[in-house]
Structure 1
Amino acid sequence: MKRKALLKAVAGVVAATTVLTACGANDKPAQTGGEVKPGGTVRLLNDSATQQYDPAKSGSLVVTALGLVHRRLTSWKVAPGQDTTIIPDLATDTGRPTEGGKTWTFTLKDNVKYNDGSPIKAQDIKWGLERTYAAAFSGGLTYHKDLLSPGLAYKGPFEGGKELDSIETPDDKTIVFHLARPYGDWNWIASTPAFSPVPKGKGQEADYGNHPVASGPYVLEKYERGKEARLVRNPHWDRATDDTRKANPDTIVFQLGQDTSVISKRLIDDSGDDQSAFSIPFASPAQLAQIQANPSAKSRVVTSESGALAYLTLNTQRGKLVDPKVRQAFQYAVDKAAYQVASAGNAQLAGDIATTLITPGLQGREQFDLYPAPPSGDPEKAKKLLAEAGLPNGLDGLVLATRNENSYPEKAAAIQAALARANIKITIKALDEDTYTSEVDTKGISDYDLTLTSWQPDIPSANANIQPLFQSTEIGNGGVNESRYANPEVDRLITEAQATLDPAEAGKKWAALDKKILGDSPVVPLIYTRNSFLHGSKFGNVVIGRFPAYPDYRQFGLIQ
């Protein structure tokens, strides 16, 4: 897949890794003061100036904004304290694999309609997927692309009207996918935005996302970049066909381009319409102190159990870092406790220390630690490994690339200080998002020795934790294998795990890959970040499950 990391790609979700308490999600009731009832207007305050409602261009999770307007073949059941499970959405089931998982068949439910009252057809799912191959409609998640068109030979439906032959629609309700190879997670992939229906023949205009045809409970009534996205009810959405979307509010207003400090102040003050509001981004550490000092605001914070994996990448194709023993020294040199403090002020606020690649909440994850050390690290052990690798005086002249936002410069400084204890001297280069993507993710050969970043999977599968970050095909061209890790045996095992249909068996294979990759030390796991969200006193049903570490927008409503 060729796209930015999820924490930047998700439409409508930009959350900092700071929290108020160490409690799990929803330890404090989200709907203090009463029961959520249908009706009214909720406001979601967003610091981003844009939202993407074209499913071909979106990396939005099932639980966020796009899912209010567009349905998909499958969906997720999310609940606090429970693993996220797959359930049908537009389809009658979660897919029927044959040929060992190389062919998947779905049947659409009865009475599923667009906002104009016309029926949703299997051909519309196919058309929506075909749109994603056109260059003008790139930018969304791409797990499906190479599986349906090896080598991406297919270029979309707009020039010459060519169809994607790997997708069959024998009738209006049946869609059959013929994949290039067996793929056990195809039912999860069918929950990504590309599997949203677009009426066949529509969506050829570049601004389709400003006026999409809706299949979900809401229609995009108004979109004004930097100001507002307004969703109103879809009169032809049938609640009886949809098990996940509560569709409580009559109207959902995203206020775009808001200053984060202003958002925080509005919700702390909790007056007027802001009592019915929710913050998509979270406050800075300085603002957290204000919230902690306000009992009312503190009671209106909901925190995830876990979240993205924050990690330090080591460029396995550059200089002395080609030696695994040199890379293993970094596992002991880092000070994860200092990283926690730099992230959010203290360990409790930041998230738990990480020792695995697969994040908590995913099936098959195993807890282990190949490099046991105190939270502050073991610089003497790091020095010993460097000496054994022929570097008794350590390393000098390394360059660490990181983003210049969300306290990344402070976190990079903590890494720099920790490495210095082990005689590893680095220079930090803080880059804006576009430059970081261009210099680190687009180039096949990076000029940087280290990068500091984070990752949360696009789907609740360890596949989405491991494959994007460590398969050799994800080096450069927008991929996120920033360690430039290329191991043919790991590539083979990834393909083998992806082909496994039984989730439990696949989980074991992904856990084994977690250990195998970490044995090569292409990255240093730092923490599993937590996310927290503040809402007004009349805003209810702020639900966060074990995955993802974001609230389920489908449940939102007003306490009346």
Structure 2
Amino acid sequence: MKRRHLLTAITATTLLLTACGANDKPAGPQAGAEVKPGGTLYLLTDSPTQQYDPARSSSLVVTGLQFVHRRLTSWQVAPGKDTTIVPDLATDTGKPSDGGKTWTFTLKDNLKYNDGTPIKSADVKWGLERSFAAAFSGGLAYHKDLLSPGLAYKGPFEGGKELDTIETPDDKTIIFKLARPYGDWNWVASTPAFAPVPKGKGAEANYNEHPVASGPYFLEKFERGKEAVLARNTYWDKATDDTRKAYPDKVVWQLGQQTNVVSKRLIDDSGDDRNAFGTSFASPAQLAQIQGNASAKSRLVTSESGALAYLALNTERGKLTDPKVREAFQYAVNKAAFQVASAGNAQLAGDIATTLITPGLVGREQFDPYPTKPEGDPNKAKELLAAAGLPNGLDGLILVTRNENGGPEKAQSIQAGLAAAGIKVTIKTLDEDAFTAEVQTKPNPDYDLVLESWQPDIPSANANIQPLFQSTEIGGGGFNTSRYNKPEIDKLITEAQATVDPNEAGRKWAEIDKKILADSPVVPLIYTRNSYLHGSKVGNVIIGRFPAYADYRQFGIIP
């Protein structure tokens, strides 16, 4: 399943400003105050646009798209707890049958769009069919190969062909006939493409600028590069929606904002900016400003954990084809230096990672197959290289990194640690487009090592493991940048995906985690932390254990 990396598709703040725990009660003027219905929430972003076409969106359940579109299922997110699946448009989280190959959902009563027309099962089917059309691609695609193996289906717009693996026997029932058993289908049903689109609508390329809304708000005004204004959908029935609070009367996205200006506005905390939430990165100088401002520091929330940052080793390249050589990197890398390069110190950056599955997911086991100090063990790495026939170490390796978000500085910390172990690398810094072309698309890419990070798209270990390590994800835009290809692992991934019981599936994913790390295709670095700055009148800014992003559904304005 080829789709965009979540971290590049969401405008989530990663300010990393303070070591306070997630959802600490602030010490500022809003401490103890409760949000009330009403008011206007302002979301400040450096992005020039927002994507409101669900077929093209990678937005998580807790972020921007949820204001306008609902999905079959949703997530219950809370601090200190694993995220669980709950119904959204459906009455339950889906009924599997036929060993997990067939899933049936029933829509709730009294579901309406913002124009007052009823939401029907055929609309969910139509929305999914739209996602197969080339003109409306770009969103998460977990569903596609399961509904149309080999992506033979090309959408409904050429000849009006329907996708016969989705059945809608009546207006309330939708049945999915999958190509193979898939235990996470109920989680997949929470991805954007499962938002309903009225059958026959959305043929135009700019549907994202005037979508039909099923959520608590509709898009009242959209001006690219300036703003997107969301107003209440009077036909949204709170009794049918257990996860969206929908406190504000309006939500205004201020688009194309300069990050330094956003930071200053939120620090100053005056006028409408008291009702604002920032979604853009801040420079180190801006971070220092906030650290020195007691009021601003009181308006920060920080995640418990976050994305897995890791060093991928090109397992098809030179000496890195040998697992024994790759094992040396587990000891050569200085993870403590990487923490400092990421956010100034270890506590701000996030905990050191030793597993592939990130915290907060069912079945995750904490283990460390290569125990060493945070600074690594260069001598141990040298011994392993010598035992693998490389007594003089390695030379001439190419380390690729992105040029944004401190990529060069992080790469330099890796470079220095490897040099101490006799591994010499040259850093190649690329912009996002060049990075994608070289690392993810090129048939024979010119790199040995690559710095990456990954936040799963759904709260399942499946979304941690499959995109990064299944052989089908090598090249063609996939995210298997270690180019790891092992039939045994492919088989185990398919078996785990087919397991319907979540606890049993969790055990299988944990074993796969251990088996992959035994081959050392990657070096886990840290589980990155995210922090958010908001105005003094914005309340309920909480972050669950997963994902490491603030839950926009809970935001409200303090009178």
Which amino acid is the alignment partner of residue 166 of structure 2?
I
Aligned ranges for residues 259-274 of structure 1 at < 5 Å? 259-274=258-273
Counterpart secondary structure, 2:222? strand
Counterpart secondary structure, 2:168? strand
| Match 2:13 to one of 8, 12, 15 | 15
Q: What is aligned with 1:546? A: 545
Counterpart secondary structure, 2:99? helix
What is the alpha-carbon distance in structure 1 between the residues aligned to residue 147 and residue 210 of structure 2? 28
Q: What is aligned with 1:411? A: 410
The RMSD of aligned alpha carbons is 1.0
Q: Is the 8 A contact 2:300 2:531 kept in 1?
A: yes
Q: What is aligned with 1:344? A: 343
Q: CA deviation at 1:224?
A: 1.5
Counterpart secondary structure, 1:75? strand
What is the alpha-carbon distance in structure 2 between the residues aligned to residue 286 and residue 522 of structure 1? 36
Q: Is the 8 A contact 1:32 1:537 kept in 2?
A: no
What is the alpha-carbon distance in structure 2 between the residues aligned to residue 15 and residue 519 of structure 1? 34
What is the alpha-carbon distance in structure 1 between the residues aligned to residue 13 and residue 441 of structure 2? 24
Aligned ranges for residues 463-478 of structure 1 at < 5 Å? 463-478=462-477
Q: CA deviation at 1:24?
A: 2.4
Q: Is the 8 A contact 1:47 1:259 kept in 2?
A: yes
What is the alpha-carbon distance in structure 1 between the residues aligned to residue 182 and residue 72 of structure 2? 17
Counterpart secondary structure, 1:549? coil
What is the alpha-carbon distance in structure 1 between the residues aligned to residue 241 and residue 74 of structure 2? 10
Counterpart secondary structure, 2:289? helix
Which amino acid is the alignment partner of residue 225 of structure 2?
G
What is the alpha-carbon distance in structure 1 between the residues aligned to residue 17 and residue 319 of structure 2? 38
Q: What is aligned with 2:128? A: 129
Q: CA deviation at 1:33?
A: 5.2
What is the alpha-carbon distance in structure 1 between the residues aligned to residue 503 and residue 451 of structure 2? 32
What whole-Å deviation, never above 9, does each CA across 1:253-287 have from its counterpart, x for those lacking one? 11111111111111111011111101112423322
Q: Is the 8 A contact 1:442 1:477 kept in 2?
A: yes
Q: What is aligned with 1:181? A: 180
Q: CA deviation at 1:394?
A: 0.8
Q: CA deviation at 1:158?
A: 0.3
Q: CA deviation at 1:368?
A: 0.5
Counterpart secondary structure, 1:36? coil
Q: Where in structure 1 do 4 or more consecutive aligned residues deviate above 4 Å?
A: none
Aligned ranges for residues 218-229 of structure 1 at < 5 Å? 218-229=217-228
What is the alpha-carbon distance in structure 2 between the residues aligned to residue 19 and residue 496 of structure 1? 41
What is the alpha-carbon distance in structure 2 between the residues aligned to residue 386 and residue 91 of structure 1? 55
Which amino acid is the alignment partner of residue 28 of structure 1?
K
What is the alpha-carbon distance in structure 1 between the residues aligned to residue 2 and residue 185 of structure 2? 18
Size of the alignment, in residue pairs?
Answer: 557
Q: Is the 8 A contact 2:4 2:139 kept in 1?
A: no
What whole-Å deviation, never above 9, does each CA across 1:159-214 have from its counterpart, x for those lacking one? 00000010000001100000000000000000000000000000001110011000
What is the alpha-carbon distance in structure 2 between the residues aligned to residue 320 and residue 191 of structure 1? 42
Which amino acid is the alignment partner of residue 156 of structure 2?
P
Which amino acid is the alignment partner of residue 22 of structure 2?
A
What whole-Å deviation, never above 9, does each CA across 1:442-465 have from its counterpart, x for those lacking one? 123321111101000000000000
Q: CA deviation at 1:477?
A: 1.0
Counterpart secondary structure, 1:514? helix
Aligned ranges for residues 123-162 of structure 1 at < 5 Å? 123-162=122-161
Q: Is the 8 A contact 2:17 2:290 kept in 1?
A: no
Q: What is aligned with 1:27? A: 24
Which amino acid is the alignment partner of residue 511 of structure 1?
A
Counterpart secondary structure, 1:317? coil
What whole-Å deviation, never above 9, does each CA across 1:124-165 have from its counterpart, x for those lacking one? 000000011100011000000000000101010000000001
Aligned ranges for residues 471-490 of structure 1 at < 5 Å? 471-490=470-489
Question: Which shifted more, 30-39 or 377-386?
Answer: 30-39
Aligned ranges for residues 95-106 of structure 1 at < 5 Å? 95-106=94-105
What is the alpha-carbon distance in structure 1 between the residues aligned to residue 509 and residue 324 of structure 2? 24
Which amino acid is the alignment partner of residue 528 of structure 2?
T
What is the alpha-carbon distance in structure 1 between the residues aligned to residue 43 and residue 244 of structure 2? 17
What is the alpha-carbon distance in structure 2 between the residues aligned to residue 276 and residue 32 of structure 1? 15
Aligned ranges for residues 450-529 of structure 1 at < 5 Å? 450-529=449-528
What is the alpha-carbon distance in structure 2 between the residues aligned to residue 4 and residue 400 of structure 1? 22
Aligned ranges for residues 340-419 of structure 1 at < 5 Å? 340-419=339-418
Q: What is aligned with 2:56? A: 57
Q: What is aligned with 1:441? A: 440
Counterpart secondary structure, 1:37? coil
Q: CA deviation at 1:441?
A: 1.0
Say if 1:301 and 1:17 are closer, same or farther in 2 by CA, change over 3 A: closer
What is the alpha-carbon distance in structure 2 between the residues aligned to residue 485 and residue 388 of structure 1? 23
What is the alpha-carbon distance in structure 2 between the residues aligned to residue 33 and residue 254 of structure 1? 27
Q: CA deviation at 1:473?
A: 0.4
Q: Is the 8 A contact 2:17 2:291 kept in 1?
A: no
Q: Is the 8 A contact 1:285 1:345 kept in 2?
A: no
2:291 is the counterpart of 1:292: yes
What whole-Å deviation, never above 9, does each CA across 1:307-330 have from its counterpart, x for those lacking one? 000000000001110000111111
What is the alpha-carbon distance in structure 1 between the residues aligned to residue 13 and residue 365 of structure 2? 26
Q: What is aligned with 2:280? A: 281
When normalised by structure 1's length, the TM-score is 0.98
What whole-Å deviation, never above 9, does each CA across 1:200-236 have from its counterpart, x for those lacking one? 0000011100110000000011111211111110111
Counterpart secondary structure, 1:427? strand
Which amino acid is the alignment partner of residue 20 of structure 1?
T
Aligned ranges for residues 163-182 of structure 1 at < 5 Å? 163-182=162-181
What is the alpha-carbon distance in structure 2 between the residues aligned to residue 314 and residue 6 of structure 1? 21
Counterpart secondary structure, 1:310? strand
Counterpart secondary structure, 1:170? coil
What whole-Å deviation, never above 9, does each CA across 1:351-406 have from its counterpart, x for those lacking one? 00000000000010000011111000001111111111111111111111110000
What is the alpha-carbon distance in structure 2 between the residues aligned to residue 444 and residue 513 of structure 1? 27
What is the alpha-carbon distance in structure 2 between the residues aligned to residue 340 and residue 95 of structure 1? 41
Q: CA deviation at 1:17?
A: 6.2
2:251 is the counterpart of 1:252: yes
Counterpart secondary structure, 1:426? strand
What is the alpha-carbon distance in structure 2 between the residues aligned to residue 46 and residue 67 of structure 1? 17
Counterpart secondary structure, 1:504? helix
What whole-Å deviation, never above 9, does each CA across 1:49-102 have from its counterpart, x for those lacking one? 121100000000000010110000000011111111100000000000000100
Counterpart secondary structure, 2:41? strand
Q: CA deviation at 1:15?
A: 2.7
Q: Is the 8 A contact 1:277 1:536 kept in 2?
A: yes
What is the alpha-carbon distance in structure 1 between the residues aligned to residue 204 and residue 448 of structure 2? 42
What is the alpha-carbon distance in structure 2 between the residues aligned to residue 60 and residue 481 of structure 1? 21
Counterpart secondary structure, 1:528? strand
Counterpart secondary structure, 2:230? strand
Q: CA deviation at 1:28?
A: 2.8
Q: Is the 8 A contact 1:75 1:89 kept in 2?
A: yes
What is the alpha-carbon distance in structure 1 between the residues aligned to residue 472 and residue 393 of structure 2? 32
What is the alpha-carbon distance in structure 2 between the residues aligned to residue 373 and residue 222 of structure 1? 55
Q: Is the 8 A contact 2:95 2:104 kept in 1?
A: yes
